[in-house]
Structure 1
Amino acid sequence: MWGNSRVPEVKTTRVADAYLRLKEEILSNRMPSGFQAPEPEIATLLGMSRTPVREALIKLEAEGLVELIPRRGARVLPVSLEDMAEIYEILTALEPEAAAALARRRPSKEELSGMEQATLEMEKALTANDLDAWADADDRFHRLLLELHGNKRLLAMVSVLFDQAHRARMVTLRMRAIPEDSTRVHREILEGIAAGDEAGVAELFREHRKRASSELLDILKKFRLSVL
């Protein structure tokens, strides 16, 4: 009995490992849009058996990152202009309200330390002209805000959208202006939350998402990037 109880734990660990590794490859565009390979080949690339890789791919398919094709393996899905317009519309509706609710309860300096660190890293990354580090810190800022907000269902739902938006951002990052304004707004949002400025934080966040959406969609239209 005791020996059998360890089998699901080991399996779960391997599935989680395969899932995280594949997701990182996709989000970083090392497995770019359109990448396709049979499951055995993907398993070989990861140095793992097929079973955990298969289960990881099923989870990634549910998140809209890959498509499983019978007898042909898995394909990394594109993110279309329409997809990104829908994603940013949802983020623009949900994130400002979450930020306002967080400001309402005036989190402590300790609670905001993660967001403060992410903001500092964004500022340092700009100085160092390290856009990849900037994008990682930006992504972390948004996720930490929702974690502090505390609605687990909202975090789970929006995290999937964050992943898809992150892919688009990484592809178009060097086609945009240096994100100085975005970094400044993140600092202002953080200060507004600390000060309990619900209305100000909501407005800042809403305008921030609208500008980001407009900029991204304009790039996709201009360069006709129907797939990322």
Structure 2
Amino acid sequence: MTEKLKISRTDDAYERLRAEIRTNSLSPGYQAPEAEYAMRLGMSRTPVREALIRLEAEGLVELKPRRGARVLPIKAEDMQEIYELLKAIEPEAAAELAQRGLEDADRRALQKALDGMRVALAAKDLDAWAKADDQYHVSLLEAAGNQRRKAFVMHLYDQAHRARIITLRLREMPEKSTEEHAQILDLLCRGEADKVRVVFREHRERAARELLGILDTFRLQQL
């Protein structure tokens, strides 16, 4: 029972710290001793320390002996590597899904996320748009199957999310991105594997160009 409670507290600490890092509530470069993180969460140091070890393995924090943990800065070169991986993995997952055929439940999940993006876009609610965009990509990975691939890509999403949130308001409204998501869903429904692979890759390439251009201009990697 004690062991289960410890695991539960560690998971809770992990999820809460991960959410604060992803949304930049804990900003890039923030550094504090473990005791301060524990106080922030209202928890003991042990589950917080274990949560920070997990976050370090995922590339979100750096543990520094006797100095606690530092939220890693956003670096353009890191984002470049992440998007190179996404461009290689996601289009293939979409092509596999198109070739296999989209189940009704998966189509509904993707359509719901797309509808959410359109509603958010009309309301100019960028936070809601980003949430719906995340759900679209997660739904596609879930539909494609392969849990190891999904887990790996989710780690990449976590590392890229902070940069996306910071730069989202420095770009034009994501009308083009919403259109591309609609095109991808249409190709998935029609089972056009080769075309969806191309469109998805172009979608990620364009997003990477926009994000990296802003990071270079504003030098956000120095935060």
TM over 0.5: yes
Report the counterpart of residue 194 of structure 1 in structure 2. Answer: 189
SS at 1:175 equivalent: coil
Q: Is the 8 A contact 2:106 2:139 kept in 1?
A: no
Deviation at 1:227, TM superposition (A): 3.6
Alpha-carbon distance in structure 1 between the residues aligned to 2:67 and 2:219: 28
Q: Is the 8 A contact 1:65 1:76 kept in 2?
A: yes
**Deviations along 1:105-161, whole A, 9 cap, x unmatched?**
112222222211111111110011110111111111111211111111111111111
Give structure 2 stretches of 5+ with no counterpart: none
How many residues were matched structurally? 223
Moved over 4 A (4+): none
Give structure 1 stretches of 5+ with no counterpart: 1-5
Matched, 1:15 2:10: yes
**Deviations along 1:6-25, whole A, 9 cap, x unmatched?**
12211111111100000000
Report the counterpart of residue 125 of structure 1 in structure 2. Answer: 120
Alpha-carbon distance in structure 2 between the residues aligned to 1:10 and 1:107: 40
Q: Is the 8 A contact 2:74 2:220 kept in 1?
A: no
Report the counterpart of residue 224 of structure 1 in structure 2. Answer: 219
Matched, 1:214 2:172: no
Q: Is the 8 A contact 1:175 1:219 kept in 2?
A: yes
**Deviations along 1:171-212, whole A, 9 cap, x unmatched?**
111111100010011011111111111111111101000000
Report the counterpart of residue 80 of structure 2 in structure 1. Answer: 85
Out of 38-47 and 218-227, give the one that drifted further: 218-227
Change (3 A) 1:52 1:87: same
Report the counterpart of residue 35 of structure 2 in structure 1. Answer: 40
Matched, 1:57 2:68: no
Q: Is the 8 A contact 1:139 1:166 kept in 2?
A: no
Q: 2:169 is matched with which residue: 152, 168, 174?
A: 174
Given the two structures, how large is their TM-score scaled by the length of structure 1? 0.95
**Deviations along 1:66-112, whole A, 9 cap, x unmatched?**
01111111110012111011110111111101001001111222222
SS at 2:221 equivalent: coil
Alpha-carbon distance in structure 2 between the residues aligned to 1:9 and 1:118: 35
Q: Is the 8 A contact 1:100 1:199 kept in 2?
A: yes
Q: 2:160 is matched with which residue: 165, 170, 190?
A: 165
SS at 1:33 equivalent: coil
Seq. identity, %: 57
Change (3 A) 1:92 1:15: same
Q: Is the 8 A contact 1:109 1:194 kept in 2?
A: no
Out of 112-121 and 199-208, give the one that drifted further: 112-121
Alpha-carbon distance in structure 2 between the residues aligned to 1:173 and 1:54: 32
Report the counterpart of residue 24 of structure 1 in structure 2. Answer: 19
Matched, 1:115 2:110: yes
